[in-house]
A and B are shown apart, each in its own frame.
Chain A
Amino acid sequence: MENKYTNPIIEVKNLKKYFPITSGFFKKTVGYVKAVDNIDMYINEGETLALVGESGCGKTTLGRCILQAIKPTSGSVLFNNKENKQVELTTMPYSQLRDTRRDMQMIFQDPYASLDPRMTVLNIISEPLICHHLMGPAERREYVKELMVTVGLNPRHLERYPHAFSGGQRQRIGIARALATKPRFVVCDEAVAALDVSVQAQVLNLLMDLQEKMNLSYLFISHDLGVVSHISDRVGVMYVGHMVELADTVKLFARPMHPYTEALLSAKPVADPRNKSRRIMLEGDVANPAHLPSGCPFHPRCRYAKDICKEQLPEWRELEPGHYVACHCAQDLQLHGMRGYEK
């Protein structure tokens, strides 16, 4: 499975994003919210890497840092551009970054907030084309119509405004906009979280079809393990700004190596009344990213915590080929995966 994709399109190294906490009359910095802390990962061409985690774990910030929507504090993001050359995004000048944006796009969570309500569908979808000076107006119109058919919208609704569409249709408009410049890498930030179950399935199918057709690479950010298990090739699990585990989807669901992953997998309610899950109850709440506990950020809630966990931040290591984990005790633990995956 690991050998299916070999060419990394995105490589993230030691990426950090600290938001300063200011207070007082002169807004002095009194601390930092470590939204993203020391992340290492890569995404191969044509694959889907999913990021899961609870709210506030920094998965959205990480996605935006990779696209440079938010400037990361430090670290590097390497992007494999069209000429197959690795370029550094974090230090790229703005004008060059704008050009590179043709190849990387984003789909947003909220289909209501992400479309400018004052623009027609035609204008929304052709926005990236106008910005990159691609095509003339007439040609653009035809192309937008084509795109609308591709994402399953009626091309006759070209002149309508977003308020005339349902949530699922709006999300399709957002997808069409993201795909207008034929990108190679797309960040889907909770792209289906706001949709109803039946519509969610439609949009996920669309995303998968488009990936096949256009050889897209996805960074799929989600909190829904069910969705993730279907759509992704590899999964990264985040906890308050730290990546705690990253592995092949099947491997991670079948045999997780981090106690947090185990708890997350067991907490998801299973739609099967005869098989009520044996949950691992996590004590307490998610740690506050402004005041992280010492050592491993997960240790106050971890039932396997040892003394070392309170003192030392665990190292990010590759325990098995392609299976990364940040836990002191990972090799000694026998953790349970999700039912249906365990064999």
Chain B
Amino acid sequence: MKRPSEDVILAMEDVKVHFDMDEGLLKAVDGVDFVIKKGRTLGIVGESGCGKSVTTNAIFKILPKYGLISGNIWLYEKDGKELEEPINIAELNPTGDVIRSIRGGNISMIFQEPMKAFSPVHTIGNQIMETIMLHVEPDKKKAREICVEALRAVGISNPEQRVDEYPHQLSGGMRQRAMIAMALASKPSILIADEPTTALDVTIQAQVLDLINNLKHENNTSVIFITHDLGVIAEMSDDVAVMYLGKIVESCDVDTLFYNPQHPYTRALLKSIPTADKQHKGRFESIRGTVPYAMNLPVQCGFCDRCDEAIKGVCDKGYPPNVEIEPGHFVRCFKFADKGTEGK
């Protein structure tokens, strides 16, 4: 697979993750394409159950046994060097050496619940050092120094003391910082942040978002930022992919998304967020109905039952094409089927 351009680190090609359940086939992710560019943040936004977390779990190859993954996930750079032959993560053995060296080394992840990500019986320092010793510095003493520095870098006061504390001794915000320190200790080229601030309070969330942004600029890390909060997306991301029912329905840069959204779902979503600058006591524009359960779905645009602009006989008769209506602006909707070149 040829590298599309110099700054692309990772490319997803028609990635599908299907879960083979007792009740039927659950298409959690159904044909996702995107690229991760160096030093840029891709925001993935969508409602619960749209498959945004499963997508990144596929990159990390942490799927349950009954999860079937197809398509290609190309990794073009490893340990800061360009690979002659890109690695297809989708085809790797989920317990093999290669994926283990990528996990935590080249790609790191921050989770929503920092308490669940840390083991309660080991100190913060030991857990961060484990990553460092595995990927960066095998010497224990030096690893500890790196660990202290990493904790200092994420703004934890008194890191020499904190390094020997257990997760429950830290507050929620501190724990999230410690997790970021762990994720970034091995200097990964890609950081996946899965709803990292959802469990935090607004003022703490502001601290953590700032921290992630600063660290990203310092290390030129690429970030995949998953969230359901469009406010956070606007703050954090350079490019945005809007997911609905396992598919990316619209992807473009962040400015276009907020000022020139095209897909009916994106537009409805933007209207329905309660922003403070809309005036007082107004009604909300809501999307009717609820997100359908992604099991045994009919062949139609996933949004057509809730869409005000659905065209009868078209939208409910097949999957809409992914169309590039402007350079870099993809929309998956029948309305634009003949308004641009069909993207991949």
* Residues of chain A from 230 to 256 with CB closer than 8 A to chain B in the complex: 230-231, 233, 249-250, 253
Q: Cα distance A168–B286 when bound, in Å?
A: 12
Which of under 10, 10 to 19, 20 to 34, or 35 or more describes the interface residues of B?
35 or more
Residues from chain B with a CB closer than 8 A to the CB of A167 are 290
Residues from chain B with a CB closer than 8 A to the CB of A250 are 280
Report which of B47, B254, B278 forms a contact with A230, defined as CB distance below 8 A: B278
* A197-B47, A223-B202 as given contacts; A205 in contact with B269, CB under 8 Å: no
Does the CB pair B274–A269 fall under 8 Å?
A: no
* A198-B268, A231-B281, A338-B277 as given contacts; A271 in contact with B207, CB under 8 Å: no
Q: Cα distance A127–B280 when bound, in Å?
A: 36
Binary A-proximity of B252-292 (CB < 8 A = 1, otherwise 0): 00110111000000001110111111101111111110110
Does the CB pair B276–A341 fall under 8 Å?
A: yes
- Whether B204 is near chain A, meaning CB under 8 Å from some CB there, is yes
Kindly name the residue among A168, A265, A271, A272 whose own CB sees the greatest number of chain B CB atoms within 10 A.
A271
- Whether B308 is near chain A, meaning CB under 8 Å from some CB there, is no
Report which of B47, B209, B229, B283 forms a contact with A198, defined as CB distance below 8 A: B47
Residues from chain A with a CB closer than 8 A to the CB of B90 are none
Residues from chain B with a CB closer than 8 A to the CB of A276 are 234-235
* A196-B48, A197-B47 as given contacts; A270 in contact with B277, CB under 8 Å: yes
* Residues of chain B from 226 to 270 with CB closer than 8 A to chain A in the complex: 228-235, 254-255, 257-259, 268-270
Does the CB pair B278–A201 fall under 8 Å?
A: no
Stretch from A113-121, A175-183, A281-289 at the B interface: A281-289
Does the CB pair A230–B273 fall under 8 Å?
A: no
Binary A-proximity of B185-209 (CB < 8 A = 1, otherwise 0): 0000000000000000111111101
Q: Cα distance A317–B79 when bound, in Å?
A: 60
Does the CB pair A201–B202 fall under 8 Å?
A: no
Residues from chain A with a CB closer than 8 A to the CB of B281 are 208, 230-231, 233
Q: Cα distance A224–B274 when bound, in Å?
A: 9
* A198-B269, A270-B234 as given contacts; A208 in contact with B274, CB under 8 Å: no
- Whether B164 is near chain A, meaning CB under 8 Å from some CB there, is no
* Residues of chain A from 268 to 297 with CB closer than 8 A to chain B in the complex: 268-274, 276-277, 279, 281-282, 285-286
Residues from chain B with a CB closer than 8 A to the CB of A110 are none
**Chain B residue with the shortest CB-CB distance to A283:** B207
- Whether A40 is near chain B, meaning CB under 8 Å from some CB there, is no
Residues from chain B with a CB closer than 8 A to the CB of A265 are 276
- Whether A225 is near chain B, meaning CB under 8 Å from some CB there, is yes
Task: Pull 6 A–B residue pairs with CB atoms less than 8 Å apart, ordered by A.
Answer: A197-B230, A198-B268, A204-B274, A225-B276, A263-B203, A277-B235
Interface residues in chain A, defined as those with a beta carbon under 8 Å from any beta carbon in chain B: 54-55, 166-169, 196-202, 204-205, 208, 223-227, 229-231, 233, 249-250, 253, 263-274, 276-277, 279, 281-282, 285-286, 338-341
Interface residues in chain B, defined as those with a beta carbon under 8 Å from any beta carbon in chain A: 47-48, 171-174, 201-207, 209-210, 228-235, 254-255, 257-259, 268-270, 272-278, 280-288, 290-291
